[in-house]
């Protein structure tokens, strides 16, 4: 009674390039999210890894270091994959080079 009948209209036929454009527009948010993720998370992490690798390669005998476990010591021996760290006089431990987190300025450990 009060509701009138509605008839659906047929859409005009899409041109050949219109379908491709709609596909690209639907993928645009995904591409934008990947770009933001790359610049916010992936790129800074890669930079940090590169700096850590350079620090590990530049280790020298006598450097004062902090290990991943929080130990402070002086590098006494350097090998290809392992280093010797003197934690106290007469106490030396062997550890992987990658376990070094930070190189301290000379004279920090007394």
pLDDT tens digits for range 73-95:
999 999 999 999 999 999 999 99
Q: Does residue 66 share a domain with residue 96?
A: yes
Q: How many residues does the chain have?
A: 110
In the chain, how many domains are there? 2
Q: Which of 110, 106, 68 is nearest to 93 (CA)?
A: 68
Q: Does residue 54 share a domain with residue 68?
A: no
Q: Does residue 64 share a domain with residue 54?
A: no
pLDDT tens digits for range 93-107:
999 999 999 999 999
Q: Which domain holds residue 49?
A: 18-58
Q: Which of 74, 78, 76, 57 is nearest to 66 (CA)?
A: 74
| Domain assignment of residue 78, yes or no | yes
Q: Does residue 75 share a domain with residue 48?
A: no
């Amino acid at each position: 009674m009060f509701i009138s009948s509605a008839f659906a209209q047929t859409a005009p036929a899409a041109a050949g390039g219109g379908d491709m454009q709609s596909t690209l527009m639907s993928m645009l948010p995904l591409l934008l999210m990947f770009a933001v993720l790359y610049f916010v998370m992936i790129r800074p992490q890669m930079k940090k890894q590169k700096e850590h690798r350079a620090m590990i390669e530049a280790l020298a005998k006598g450097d004062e270091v902090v290990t991943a476990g929080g130990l402070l010591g002086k590098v006494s021996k350097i090998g290809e994959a392992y280093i010797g760290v003197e934690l106290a006089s007469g106490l030396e431990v062997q550890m992987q080079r990658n376990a070094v987190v930070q190189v301290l300025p000379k004279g920090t450990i007394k």
